[in-house]
A and B are shown apart, each in its own frame.
Chain A
Amino acid sequence: MMPPEEPGHDRWQDDADPVQDRWHDEHSGPMVRPYVMTSGRIEPTRGKFDLITLVVSVGAEPDGAVGLGPEHVAIARLCQSVMSVAELTGHLNLPIATVRVLLGDLLDQGFISMQEPEPEADMHDIRLYKAVIDGLRAL
């Protein structure tokens, strides 16, 4: 049904990442900016933020909120639809560690809500497997 080459790339809308290019101006490399936007912090103040922890914005946009910058706002905007930590790092083109710190700030001030994935020890819910198999069959 589908040609073997170039499998369905037309399916993906061209969601050019609007925020992405901002981190790559000529004055500073992508290494310096993340450090600055987290004020040098490497651990989030709250939350573990697994790669597949799902995040969604709640309440108002954090525009102008104390201590939050444009990167925080960019994350809050992306999280208008539910998004994983991994997807955020992909869209923002920022290192995972940086995104985690920024998310911790947003969580701290109540701008986002999140859903942690199932711990590995808890992977015994048959509904999960059935839903995944059904979802795959429907592809």
Chain B
Amino acid sequence: MVSGPSSLPTRARRLPTAVKIVIAGGFGVGKTTMVGTVSETKPLRTEEILTDESVGVDDISGVEKKKTTTVAMDFGRITMRDEYVLYLFGTPGQERFWFMWDEVALGALGAIVLADTRRLSDCFPSVDYFERRGTPFIVAVNCFQGARQYDLAEIQLALNLGPAVPVMLCDARSLDSCKQVLIDLVLHAMKTRGLAPNQEEPQNA
């Protein structure tokens, strides 16, 4: 809630509330491209330095012994009316950084899982993750050149998605396409959370 100023008498002005949407998917699927296409500011990159401890011993057992790793996320910003700011976060490519995913998925409005039909299984971990977490998500299929054209229902089947999870085509380089994907995600998130899109605003807001 955008609750009023609490205990800060020096507060100069009312701050907007930030919301975030996560953009996930396998390696090289277009996450960074999508963030850049819709961001109003130059996309930024945030880095976390991990120690063995924060990665978890099991997760790195197959990897070379290493004291620290840097994990980066790209993100962009879109300012909304009514004092909201939307942030888009592209997840770190490697799924082994689950704690970073947890951080970015916590409190997210929803998630977009990007899929490439040439390597559909690359998006399985992302789909699993958001399913388990209960984060509303949709699957956006990037149309890379040379990729065989799939029927959306075919993809839905291949990903073993429930019928409630929307699957759509997209081009991460096109603003119109990204807008449509994001709007569809927001509508899907509303539905998932039991809100009707054309419901009137509560009078006692």
Taking Cβ atoms with an 8 Å cutoff, the residues of A that contact B are 1-2, 4-5, 7-9, 11-12, 14-15, 31, 34, 50-54, 56, 58-59, 82, 84, 86-87, 89-91, 93, 95-97, 110, 113-115, 117-120, 122-137, 139
What B residues does A15 contact at CB under 8 A? 41-42
Nearest Cβ on chain A to B67's Cβ, whole angstroms: 10
**B10 and A135 form a contact (CB under 8 A):** no
Q: Residue of A at shortest CB range from B54?
A: A97
Contact among A58, A87, A130, A132 with B19 in the assembled complex (CB-CB below 8 Å) = A132
- Hey, what's the 0/1 contact readout for B161-205 against A, CB within 8 Å counting as 1? 000000000010111100100110011011001110101011001
Q: Shortest CB–CB separation between residue A122 and chain B, in angstroms?
A: 6
**8 nearest A-B residue pairs (beta carbon):** A90-B44, A135-B80, A115-B15, A52-B18, A12-B42, A131-B82, A89-B46, A7-B37
> Could you pull out 12 A-B pairs where Cβ atoms are within 8 angstroms?
A8-B37, A51-B46, A51-B89, A53-B18, A90-B44, A90-B46, A114-B15, A124-B194, A128-B17, A132-B186, A133-B183, A136-B78
With A and B bound together, what is the CA distance between A90 and B44 in angstroms? 5
Pairwise interchain contact A54-B46, C-beta atoms closer than 8 A: no
Nearest chain A residue, comparing its CB with the CB of B8: A113
Distance A97 CA – B158 CA, assembled complex (angstroms): 39
Q: Is the CB of B109 closer than 8 A to any CB of chain A?
A: yes
B202 and chain A: residue at smallest CB distance: A126
How far is it, in angstroms, between the C-alpha of A15 and the C-alpha of B39 when the chains are bound?
14
A133 touches B175 (CB 8 A): no
Separation of A129 and B106 alpha carbons in the complex (Å): 17
> Contacts A97-B49, A110-B10 given; 20 further ones with Cβ under 8 A?
A4-B173, A31-B49, A34-B49, A50-B107, A51-B46, A51-B87, A53-B18, A54-B85, A56-B15, A58-B12, A84-B87, A86-B89, A87-B44, A113-B11, A118-B1, A120-B106, A120-B108, A133-B187, A134-B80, A137-B183
Interface size class for chain B?
35 or more
Q: In the complex, A12→B79 CA distance in Å?
A: 14
CA distance A81 to B73 in the complex (A): 23
Number of A-B contacts (CB under 8 A): 170
Check if B59 is an interface residue, CB within 8 A of chain A. Answer: no
* Shortest Cβ distance from A86 into B: residue: B46
**Cα distance A87–B87 when bound, in Å?**
10
Please, which residue of chain B has its CB at the minimum distance from the CB of A124?
Answer: B193
- Candidates A8, A87, A96, A136; contact of B183 at CB < 8 Å: A136
B47 near A7 (CB under 8 angstroms)?
Answer: no
Within 8 A of A (CB), among B83-108: 84-87, 89, 103-104, 106-108
| A85 (CB) vs chain B CBs: closest residue | B46
- With an 8 A cutoff between CB atoms, is B38 at the interface? yes
A55 to chain B, nearest CB (A): 8
| Inter-subunit contact A84/B85 (CB<8 Å) | yes
